[in-house]
């Protein structure tokens, strides 16, 4: 490329990247002599498991080193703003390794701060990106990586929406050889419809009343559009999604969603009092301020006759349109529109004073009080102080329309004040986006919501629940001490006055199938602590708390990073050969849902499912499905007792048959595994996880480097399944130790390093 042509491309990219959505992963070589800006992206395979509204995403990608020399590379992925990475794997040859999470700063992109393509890449990835340094990518070979992350889907009026960032046209100018997506949904309400945007070919859908699977694949695909997947559930009544999971050695975890019905009548809806607060500081100059002014003007035109409102603008000073809330008459709305049209930007940002002025306009708690704020959130405000001033219990709804907002400050401001934040990507019409949000909050049905869940539950997040609007949701996550039944008691104010609601809960003793609840609670706790650090600054107590959560749950935080080094202490190698790792069958509304997992899904050609009823003399084949599938719904199982077995047929002709299993046994591993303890090195505590294929008396013993037995960490009868024990080495000196698992005829050992 000629020098002047590269300059033109650079400025074109700069213009595009100021507004583009976040996008798929890229691999940037560290060797500055590499002939291209990126390693060639060959393949993306994405599996998304959605339980209600919580999404677990697994991203498998392949990149090609097209050079004749080995190189290191930095894998970068733009996680969605609310997501947390939960695992990272990398391949060395044909062996997959689990990366180690360490207290270390995340790998920077090569050349960050030098301008050019790296500066563009930093903008492109956004503030919540993951970066991992991969060593020694062989010349002419593939580098394979796998990322897992957890996120919360959008929800409104029964529609659950999931977005995957696939718009990489600014960097990936060629078609990727293979792109494939698989969405598996387990809903608590009947699924009415589904939609997948971003794919032009080869989409297959399988579903029953509350289970859905959508598969899409496309060869030679240009990565030009994000993937948008959604499904609709029935939403004609208030509903509860509740997921909980127990654990062998620590308290259990749960997450719940309370979903408001959408068919609310006028008599159910609270009148609303709205203060529109607009940021006129230089941070939102020109088009951003113009967009804000039009957006608020359109919202004011959509006020209902029973509503009251006012407008507050701020920069270095605060200007209130009225000293009181006024009814949304034609005369008043016209006056407000004239006030907004005359606003101009200036220096300074008196956000705290603007919020104080806005809250003072609410003279009573009657009706539903809302502060709709457009701001970049970078002004120095104290959200706790705003909460103390908020005697009217107004729901503060901050909206950011810039790509570089003070996100965590706006989040804390909303969560402490009965609201929720909204972050627009900077593309499209601000007015259209804000009108959509305004439609969501037009019909408040339940305000000042409080809850009581009993002494068995603790560690609850968020600390306060938001106002519940028609068709919206509120969520709560926490931990529980013992299995058993409980009641979630909720109280608040509706159009009918004080309203109370009791929802039954069951805290289980089982360790499957809702393991994601553990990660979700830890994600929310880490988010909460990092929010506090961002707003009020770090101290040693907060830093150690977030690091402990990060290492204990395997979720990256601001102080930890994934280390992709097969020789790193604690790095776990996983053989890249085809194995059937787990199987299960559960009763659902329309049959029996069979699930299975394998160690190398890309090596499975097909899966054969066999069934045997009580009256059958032998198993018979009932279905053969494509190798990419991991579920099968048996719509018409025979009457009486039924059992199954499945057989994986590999692309190389290899055949692997499962043991016989029956419905409702739970997800049971098909072989035993002893994992590397985590964290490792450790001081003084570490977790040891292991899988048991069958119930058996199980022991884990600890030995020193000379082979002398030091302690017995566990010795008891354990059921088949996934287990974890916590080991506290406070009384031991630093050094290398060996732990050995014995369960039935299975024995395995690993090393651990204690550093004090």
| Whether residue 754 has pLDDT greater than 60 | yes
The answer to whether 691 and 730 are in contact (CB under 8 A) is no
Least confident window among 5-14, 144-153, 378-387: 5-14
Alpha-carbon distance of 396 to 387, in angstroms, equals 10
Using the Cα atoms of residue 217, residue 218, residue 224 and residue 225 in order, give the sign of their dihedral. Answer: negative
| Whether residue 3 has pLDDT greater than 60 | no
Q: Buried (b) or exposed (e) across 549-559, using 16+ Cβ within 10 A?
A: bbbbbbbbbbb
Phi and psi (nearest 5°) for 283?
A: -65, -25
Give the per-residue pLDDT at 18. 31
Q: How confident is the model at residue 6 (pLDDT cuts 50, 70, 90)?
A: very low
Alpha-carbon distance of 404 to 377, in angstroms, equals 9
Structure-block tokens of residue 329 = 């008459």
Q: Give the model confidence (pLDDT) of 205-215 as tens digits.
A: 877 788 888 88
The answer to whether 688 and 722 are in contact (CB under 8 A) is no
DSSP track, 136-175: EEPTT-EEEEEEEEEEE-EEETTEEEEEE----TTT--S-
User: Do the domains 3-231 and 270-442 sit in the same CATH topology, yes or no?
Assistant: no
| Whether residue 727 has pLDDT greater than 90 | yes
The answer to whether 73 and 30 are in contact (CB under 8 A) is yes
Beta bridge partners of residue 604, listed in sequence order: 650
User: Order of strands, edge to edge, in the sheet holding 668-669?
Assistant: 631-634, 591-598, 580-588, 668-669
Give the per-residue pLDDT at 10. 33
DSSP track, 631-698: EEEESSPPSS-EEEEEEEEETTS-EEEPPPB-TTS--EESS-EEPPPBSSSBSSEEEEEEEESS-EEE
Q: Is 426 strand, coil or helix?
A: coil
| Whether residue 43 has pLDDT greater than 80 | yes
Q: How confident is the model at residue 1 (pLDDT cuts 50, 70, 90)?
A: very low
> What is this structure's pTM?
0.75
Phi and psi (nearest 5°) for 322?
A: -135, 165
Structure-block tokens of residue 667 = 């997800």
Structure-block tokens of residue 733 = 């000196």
Q: Bigger pLDDT: 379 or 479?
A: 479
Q: Bigger pLDDT: 98 or 356?
A: 356
In the chain, what is the greatest distance between 2 CA atoms, to the nearest angstrom?
88
Q: How confident is the model at residue 575 (pLDDT cuts 50, 70, 90)?
A: low
Question: Whose CA is closest to 177, among 70, 45, 89?
Answer: 45
Structure-block tokens of residue 668 = 């049971």
Residue the block writes with tokens 């004239």: 338
Give the β-pairing of 709-718 and 696-704: antiparallel
Structure-block tokens of residue 284 = 């939102």
Superfamily grouping for domain 673-754? Macroglobulin (MG2) domain (2.60.40.1930)
The answer to whether 186 and 165 are in contact (CB under 8 A) is no
Q: How confident is the model at residue 20 (pLDDT cuts 50, 70, 90)?
A: very low
| Whether residue 568 has pLDDT greater than 80 | no
Which distant-in-sequence residues (6+ apart) come within 8 Å of 305 by Cβ? 327, 328
Question: Whose CA is closest to 410, among 101, 647, 127, 704?
Answer: 127
Distance from the Cα of residue 491 to its chain's centroid: 29
Other Cβ atoms within 10 Å of 118 Cβ, number: 18
| Residue positions counted in the chain | 756
Mean pLDDT of 288-316: 88
Domain 3-231 fold is Immunoglobulin-like (2.60.40)
The answer to whether 368 and 398 are in contact (CB under 8 A) is no
Q: Give the model confidence (pLDDT) of 468-487 as tens digits.
A: 888 888 899 999 999 999 99
CATH architecture assigned to 270-442: 3-Layer(aba) Sandwich (3.40)
| Whether residue 561 has pLDDT greater than 80 | yes
Give the per-residue pLDDT at 678. 84
Question: Whose CA is closest to 73, among 118, 135, 130, 122?
Answer: 135
| Whether residue 15 has pLDDT greater than 50 | no
Question: Whose CA is closest to 404, among 387, 426, 386?
Answer: 426
Mean pLDDT of 335-354: 90
DSSP track, 378-420: -S---HHHHHHH-TT--EEEEEE-SSS--HHHHHHHHHTTT--
Q: Buried (b) or exposed (e) across 231-246, using 16+ Cβ within 10 A?
A: bbbebeeebebbbbbb
CA gyration radius, the chain: 28
Beta bridge partners of residue 739, listed in sequence order: 702, 750
Least confident window among 38-47, 321-330, 526-535, 738-747: 738-747
Q: Give the model confidence (pLDDT) of 590-628 as tens digits.
A: 788 888 888 777 788 889 999 888 777 778 888 888 887
Give the per-residue pLDDT at 17. 32
Portion of the chain with pLDDT greater than 70, in percent: 87
User: Considering the domain 577-667 in this protein, what is its CATH number?
Assistant: 2.60.40.10
Other Cβ atoms within 10 Å of 82 Cβ, number: 17
Burial class (CB in 10 A: 0-12, 13-18, 19+), 618: exposed
- What are the sequence ranges of the domains in the chain? 3-231, 270-442, 577-667, 673-754
The answer to whether 264 and 445 are in contact (CB under 8 A) is yes
Mean pLDDT of 510-537: 90
Portion of the chain with pLDDT greater than 90, in percent: 35
Beta bridge partners of residue 312, listed in sequence order: 277, 320
Give the per-residue pLDDT at 404. 63
Give the per-residue pLDDT at 328. 92
Other Cβ atoms within 10 Å of 192 Cβ, number: 13
Give the per-residue pLDDT at 16. 31
Phi and psi (nearest 5°) for 287?
A: -65, -30
Least confident window among 99-108, 238-247, 411-420, 657-666: 657-666
Alpha-carbon distance of 697 to 38, in angstroms, equals 52
The answer to whether 563 and 667 are in contact (CB under 8 A) is no
Mean pLDDT taken over the chain: 83
Alpha-carbon distance of 56 to 46, in angstroms, equals 10
| Whether residue 22 has pLDDT greater than 60 | no
Least confident window among 66-75, 269-278, 399-408, 735-744: 399-408
Mean pLDDT of 713-737: 88
Q: Residue 323 has what DSSP assignment?
A: S
Distances 63 to 28, 29, 163, 389, 545 between C-alpha atoms, Å: 10, 11, 23, 54, 36
| Whether residue 363 has pLDDT greater than 60 | yes
Give the per-residue pLDDT at 423. 82
Other Cβ atoms within 10 Å of 364 Cβ, number: 9
| Whether residue 302 has pLDDT greater than 90 | no
Alpha-carbon distance of 580 to 482, in angstroms, equals 33
| Whether residue 285 has pLDDT greater than 60 | no
The answer to whether 144 and 45 are in contact (CB under 8 A) is no
User: Order of strands, edge to edge, in the sheet holding 457-461?
Assistant: 239-245, 252-259, 473-480, 457-461
Which distant-in-sequence residues (6+ apart) come within 8 Å of 357 by Cβ? 312, 318, 320
Helix axes 407-415, 516-536, angle to 10 degrees: 110
Residue the block writes with tokens 């909204």: 422
The answer to whether 755 and 733 are in contact (CB under 8 A) is no
The torsion of the CA quartet 713, 715, 718, 720, rounded to 10 degrees, works out to: 70
The answer to whether 362 and 320 are in contact (CB under 8 A) is no
């Amino acid at each position: 490329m000629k020098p002047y042509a590269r300059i033109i491309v650079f400025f074109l990219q700069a213009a595009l990247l100021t507004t583009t959505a976040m996008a798929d992963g890229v691999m940037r070589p560290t060797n500055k002599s590499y002939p291209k800006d990126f390693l060639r992206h060959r393949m993306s395979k994405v599996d998304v498991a959605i339980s209600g509204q919580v999404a677990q995403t697994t991203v498998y990608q392949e990149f090609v080193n097209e050079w004749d020399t080995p190189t290191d590379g930095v894998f970068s992925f733009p996680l969605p703003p609310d997501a947390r990475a939960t695992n990272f794997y990398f391949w060395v040859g044909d062996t997959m390794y689990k990366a180690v999470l360490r207290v270390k700063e995340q790998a920077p992109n090569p050349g960050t701060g030098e301008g050019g393509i790296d500066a563009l890449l930093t903008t492109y990835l956004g503030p919540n990106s993951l970066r991992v340094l991969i060593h020694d990518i062989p010349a002419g070979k593939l580098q394979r990586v796998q990322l897992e992350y957890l996120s919360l889907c959008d929800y409104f009026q029964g529609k659950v929406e999931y977005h995957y960032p696939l718009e990489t046209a600014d960097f990936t100018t060629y078609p990727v050889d293979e792109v494939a997506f698989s969405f598996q949904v387990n809903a608590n309400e009947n699924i009415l419809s589904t939609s997948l945007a971003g794919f032009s070919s080869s989409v297959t859908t399988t579903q029953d009343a509350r289970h859905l699977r959508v598969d899409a694949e496309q060869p030679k695909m240009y990565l030009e559009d994000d993937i948008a997947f959604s499904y609709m559930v029935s939403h004609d009544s208030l509903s509860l999604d509740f997921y909980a999971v127990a654990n062998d050695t620590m308290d259990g975890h749960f997450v719940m969603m309370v979903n408001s019905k959408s068919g609310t009548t006028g008599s159910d809806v609270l009148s609303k009092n709205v203060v529109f607060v607009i940021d006129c500081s230089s941070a939102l100059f020109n088009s951003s301020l113009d967009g804000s002014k039009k957006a608020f003007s359109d919202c004011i035109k959509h006020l209902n006759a029973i509503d009251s409102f006012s407008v507050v603008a701020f920069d270095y000073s605060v200007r209130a349109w009225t000293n009181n809330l006024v009814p949304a008459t034609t005369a008043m709305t016209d006056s407000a529109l004239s006030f907004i049209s005359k606003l101009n930007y200036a220096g300074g940002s008196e956000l705290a004073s603007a919020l104080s002025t806005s809250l003072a306009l609410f003279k009573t708690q009657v009706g539903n009080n809302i502060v709709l704020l457009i701001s970049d959130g970078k002004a120095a405000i104290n959200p706790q102080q705003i909460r103390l001033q908020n005697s009217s219990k107004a729901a503060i709804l901050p909206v950011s329309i810039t790509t570089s907002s003070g996100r965590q400050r706006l989040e804390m401001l909303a969560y402490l004040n009965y609201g929720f934040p909204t972050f627009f990507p900077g593309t499209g019409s601000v007015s259209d986006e804000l009108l959509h949000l305004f439609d969501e909050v037009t019909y408040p049905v339940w305000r000042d919501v409080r809850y009581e869940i009993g002494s068995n539950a603790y560690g609850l997040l968020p600390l306060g629940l938001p106002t519940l609007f028609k068709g919206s949701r509120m969520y709560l996550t926490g931990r529980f001490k013992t299995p058993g039944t409980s009641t979630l008691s909720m109280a608040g104010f509706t159009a009918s006055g004080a309203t109370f609601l009791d929802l039954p809960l069951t805290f289980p003793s089982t360790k499957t199938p809702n393991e994601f609840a553990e990660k979700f609670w830890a994600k929310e706790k880490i988010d909460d602590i990092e929010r506090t650090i961002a707003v009020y600054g770090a101290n040693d107590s907060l830093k150690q708390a977030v690091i402990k959560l990060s290492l204990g749950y395997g979720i990256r935080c601001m102080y930890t990073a994934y280390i992709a080094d097969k020789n790193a202490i604690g790095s776990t190698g996983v053989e890249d050969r085809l194995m059937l790792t787990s199987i299960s069958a559960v009763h659902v509304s329309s049959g029996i849902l069979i699930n299975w997992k394998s160690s190398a899904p890309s090596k499975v050609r097909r899966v054969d499912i066999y069934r045997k009823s009580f009256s059958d003399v032998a198993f018979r084949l009932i279905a053969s499905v494509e190798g990419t599938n991991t579920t099968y719904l048996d719509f018409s199982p025979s009457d009486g007792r039924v059992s199954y077995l499945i057989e994986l047929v590999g692309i190389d002709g290899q055949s692997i048959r499962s043991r016989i299993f029956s419905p409702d046994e739970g997800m049971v591993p098909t072989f035993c595994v002893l994992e590397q303890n985590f964290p490792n090195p450790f001081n003084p505590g570490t977790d040891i996880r292991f899988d048991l294929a069958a119930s058996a008396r199980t022991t884990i013993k600890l030995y020193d480097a000379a082979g002398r037995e030091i302690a017995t960490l566990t010795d008891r009868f354990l059921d088949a399944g996934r287990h974890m024990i916590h080991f506290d080495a406070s009384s031991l000196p630093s050094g290398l130790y060996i732990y050995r698992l014995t369960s039935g005829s299975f024995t395995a050992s690993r090393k651990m390093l204690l550093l004090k």
